[in-house]
């Protein structure tokens, strides 16, 4: 059986990039009978950037409610909080001891932080924590602990999944047995990198996001604030590199997209284009938003779902597997 797994870091409010890059494809994939799915809240990862306990808690609730509002069925899908599965942290150490430091040196997030220090004339590693450096190892443990083989993500995460393959393979090789299945990234080309308000990748760290469940009026305001060029109505518009066009495409049918492309060629005014984009996004999001707002009034229910998911999942997979791995590396069996 295919095992599909993905997570979202609990460091803010989920945005449209998370939705089209991870949540929507993951929920669609979980509906196939041939798949077993694992979707989780990466709260250990959130400690790397957001050292604000209240924010991590709030974000955990918001992201959990988002998954549920988007149709995740906790009876069909393993749905849990990363920190509720302590076996993930233990496996992180086992993998740390086989992971090549040179590989971690090449991780995008770490390299970007070093490059920024250099540009600012600081020491290479100024202000960089070991947590940021080790980020890909924790992520590999998330995936390998459940032997997931398909990981739906946006393009920015592909490198991490390749590293998970590498660490898993090294472990298998060193300990002489195929303990871990090797994961593959599942990337939807159209949604691989959704642009934000300013045309750069939509990202919490760029402050250019459209929150997934922004109230309708705010959604409209944000879509209307998206970057466009200065071409006047009547002038043909360029689809390539137009964040508005991309957003339309990921929410519209093929026919609608073809008609919108024609409107671009015919010189649609930016105001009209934005109205059409807003409508097609809101059409899909509105019913989910209603469900989300309702769930957010019942946080205890969400908490109970998460705890129950983690408890069952530990018993079913994480505890027996970590026992096997402890034995593999020569540690005492705790049971
Ligand atoms: P995170 O929380 O930054 O993002 C969650 C998911 O959303 C995707 N995404 C996007 N997709 C398209 N366009 C965008 N602008 C955009 N922005 C974000 C991300 O690619 C991701 O799929 N390290 C991960 C969380 C994680 C994880 C894992 C994922 C931890 N363990 C194991 C998969 C498997 C992260 O920080 O994603």
d(CA 110, CA 133): 6
Distance 22 CA to ligand 1 centre (A): 7
Structural domains for the chain: 2-193+299-329 (3.40.50.620), 213-294 (1.10.240.10)
d(CA 13, CA 327): 40
What pTM did the predictor assign?
0.95
Query: Which strands, in side-by-side order, build the sheet including 78-81?
Result: 78-81, 35-42, 2-9, 150-152, 184-186
Residue segments in the chain with a per-residue pLDDT below the cut of 70 = 50
194 is in an annotated binding site: yes
Q: What is the pLDDT of residues 150-165, one digit of tens each?
A: 999 989 999 999 999 9
154 is in an annotated binding site: yes
Distance 263 CA to ligand 1 centre (A): 33
CA distances from 137 to 64, 263, 272, 289 (A): 24, 47, 47, 34
Distance 332 CA to ligand 1 centre (A): 35
CA distances from 263 to 109, 229, 239 (A): 39, 16, 10
Distance 157 CA to ligand 1 centre (A): 6
194 lines ligand 1 (CB under 6 A): yes
Tell me the best of 59, 78, 153 to mutate to test the pocket of ligand 1, counting ligand atoms within 8 Å of each CB and taking the most: 153
Q: What is the pLDDT of residues 23-50, one digit of tens each?
A: 999 999 998 888 999 999 999 999 998 6
163 is in an annotated binding site: no
17 is in an annotated binding site: yes
Please tell me the predicted confidence (pLDDT) of residue 173. Answer: 98
């Amino acid at each position: 059986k295919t095992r599909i797994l993905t997570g979202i870091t609990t460091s803010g409010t989920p945005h449209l990039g998370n939705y089209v890059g991870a949540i929507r494809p993951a929920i669609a994939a979980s509906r196939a009978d041939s798949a077993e799915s694992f979707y989780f809240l990466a709260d250990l990862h959130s400690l790397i950037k957001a050292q604000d306990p209240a924010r991590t808690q709030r974000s955990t609730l918001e992201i959990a409610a988002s998954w549920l509002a988007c149709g995740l069925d906790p009876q069909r899908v393993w749905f849990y909080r990363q920190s509720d599965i302590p076996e993930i942290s233990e496996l992180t150490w086992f993998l740390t001891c086989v992971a090549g430091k040179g590989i971690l040196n090449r991780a995008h997030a770490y390299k970007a932080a070093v490059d920024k220090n250099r540009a600012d004339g600081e020491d290479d590693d100024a202000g960089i924590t070991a947590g940021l450096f080790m980020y890909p190892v924790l992520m590999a443990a998330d995936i390998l602990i459940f032997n997931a083989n398909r990981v739906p993500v946006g393009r920015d995460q592909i490198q991490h999944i390749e590293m998970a393959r590498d660490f898993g393979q090294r472990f298998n090789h060193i300990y002489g047995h195929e303990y871990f299945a090797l994961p593959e990234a599942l990337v939807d080309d159209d949604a691989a990198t959704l642009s934000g308000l300013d045309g750069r990748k939509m990202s919490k760290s760029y402050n250019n996001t459209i929150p997934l469940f922004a109230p309708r009026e705010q959604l409209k305001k944000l879509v209307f604030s998206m970057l466009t060029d200065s071409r006047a109505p009547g002038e043909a518009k360029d689809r390539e590199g137009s964040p508005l066009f991309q957003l339309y495409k990921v929410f519209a049918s093929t026919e609608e997209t073809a008609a919108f492309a024609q409107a671009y060629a015919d010189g649609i005014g930016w105001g009209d284009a934005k109205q059409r984009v807003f409508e097609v996004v809101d059409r899909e999001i509105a019913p989910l938003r209603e469900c989300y707002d309702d769930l957010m009034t019942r946080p205890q229910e969400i908490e109970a779902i998460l705890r129950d998911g983690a408890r069952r999942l530990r018993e079913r997979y994480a505890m027996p597997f970590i026992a096997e791995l402890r034995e593999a590396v020569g540690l005492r069996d705790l049971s």
